[in-house]
A and B are shown apart, each in its own frame.
Chain A
Amino acid sequence: MARQTDLVPDDGGVSPAGAPAEQRALDRPWRLWASIIVAGALLVGALIGFVLIPAGQAGNANLSLYEAVCRALGIRSGSPAQVQPVSSAVSVPVSEVSWDPAVMRILAEGNSRRGAAIAAQTCASCHGDKGLSQSDVPALAGQSPYAIYKQLADYRSGARAHPQMTGVAKALSVPDLAAVSAYFAAASKEYAAIGARDLVSEVEIERLAREGNSRRRIPACLSCHLNGVGGPIETPVIIGQNDDYLLAQMNAYASGQRRNDVYGRMRDISAKLTPAERAALARYFQGTL
């Protein structure tokens, strides 16, 4: 402490404002001009930001000058730059599933014991015990509850159609769908215990799956189709899935026959893939069980 006080110049404890009269006289014009310049800069800045730029923007955004200035000042925030005509397009949602809190709550409350009972009764005969299918019926184990719920709900609403599944899903209530989804999602732990799968593939296909192709604007399959990597929450895991099933789905997307993928992401990607690539990718993802 003592050393610090030593460093302070001995001005008798007076602040700079209390400097000797001669220094104050020297400082006065500086203070004056500094204040004028700062105030001037603020004024010019305000003029540019609140008047000049909004004025330039006004014509471009179809606003009157007054409106543009008000918006810049934040007085009329929220007003759209241009009143948009309401779309006249017929709303044709491909899927009515939206991940709002109500649906999330249903899924969180999905009773997996009840789900197990429903699964044993209605799902197991085709999808296999615990969702481990042995045929071209898709395996359900290893999927997130969102992936399973999305497809069941789409079958129920008619966004996706299948000779058997449409009827099955329609016969179940929404809480039932959630229960089944919860059951299969929980079964994924046993699925994981089965062990790693060897991926069999060609280099080109492996690259497509892992890195995508920027020139063809094909994102990597694995940028979404793994649990928790990204993409829509409902994206299914496709590693280990049956190859006939995967190929059939890619072909159905490419032809537009299946279209419950929100915003057509899979329709777009599948159509960009050649038939040979689709088949190779299906084989790649099936891997070995």
Chain B
Amino acid sequence: MAIDEGAILKSELRWAMVVGGIVLVILSAILFAALSMHINPPSNREFADPKTLHTSDEFTEANLGTRVEPDGKVVARIIATQFNFVPDCIVVPAGRDVTLRFTTPDVIHGILVAGTNVNTMIVPGYVAQVHTRFTRTGDLMMPCHEYCGLGHSQMIATVRVVPPGAFRPAADGRIACGERRPA
């Protein structure tokens, strides 16, 4: 039985429209997420030597955690390591731009804060940086979402979002959850 050429054309057209529609939906989802929620692949490329992180300038133990920089920017530095985030709790103000900077001395980790645009892989050798603004106050969970070894499921950090009035850093600009670990 010969199929009518016109029928083939119509069928092709219909399927092309279906495919085109799917592409359009995906593109608009990407666009919406990127523009309204700032969810996009990090384009920041910055190197950090994983072997000497603990003796580096920026990611020494003493420099981790949230700090208000002299120019007023809120920056939190976190090390993801097998099998712990250091520190495992950070304080950030609600309604203010916050920069999160992560790196790791060992293997690939990842982080995610549900309901925000914070979602990135943390790859040894690189600094993963995320800009965000938290709106809801309270304790948010930030688990490791990239399998990193036997202790992966215990690797969870807390992001404590406090109202701007309750965000009171010390004179050196630092602020930590509860008591600071004996140093």
Instruction: Enumerate chain A residues within 8 angstroms of B79, measured Cβ to Cβ.
Output: 263
Q: Can you list 25 residue pairs at the A/B interface with Cβ under 8 Å?
A: A48-B31, A52-B35, A53-B40, A54-B43, A57-B40, A57-B43, A60-B131, A61-B44, A80-B45, A81-B131, A82-B73, A85-B69, A86-B58, A87-B63, A92-B61, A98-B55, A214-B153, A219-B150, A222-B150, A230-B83, A230-B150, A231-B83, A256-B182, A262-B105, A265-B84
Q: Determine how close the nearest CB of chain B comes to the CB of A253; give it in whole angstroms.
A: 10
B23–A231 CB distance below 8 A: no
CA A60 to CA B36, docked complex, whole Å? 11
CA A255 to CA B45, docked complex, whole Å? 39
B150–A99 CB distance below 8 A: no
Q: Which of B57, B75, B84 contacts A263 (CB 8 A)?
A: B84
A230–B55 CB distance below 8 A: no
A98–B52 CB distance below 8 A: yes
B139 within 8 A of A: no
Interface residues of A in 70-123 (CB under 8 A from B): 71-72, 77-78, 80-82, 84-87, 89-96, 98-100
Instruction: Enumerate chain B residues within 8 angstroms of A256, measured Cβ to Cβ.
Output: 181-183
Instruction: Enumerate chain A residues within 8 angstroms of B156, measured Cβ to Cβ.
Output: 214, 217
Closest partner residue, chain A, to B79 (CB atom):
A263
B96 within 8 A of A: no
Extra pairs beyond A81-B131, A82-B73, A230-B82 (6, CB < 8 Å): A44-B27, A57-B38, A62-B131, A92-B61, A230-B83, A262-B54
B62 within 8 A of A: yes
B27–A80 CB distance below 8 A: no
Closest partner residue, chain B, to A68 (CB atom):
B43
B84–A268 CB distance below 8 A: yes
B58–A56 CB distance below 8 A: no
Q: Determine how close the nearest CB of chain A comes to the CB of B48; give it in whole angstroms.
A: 11
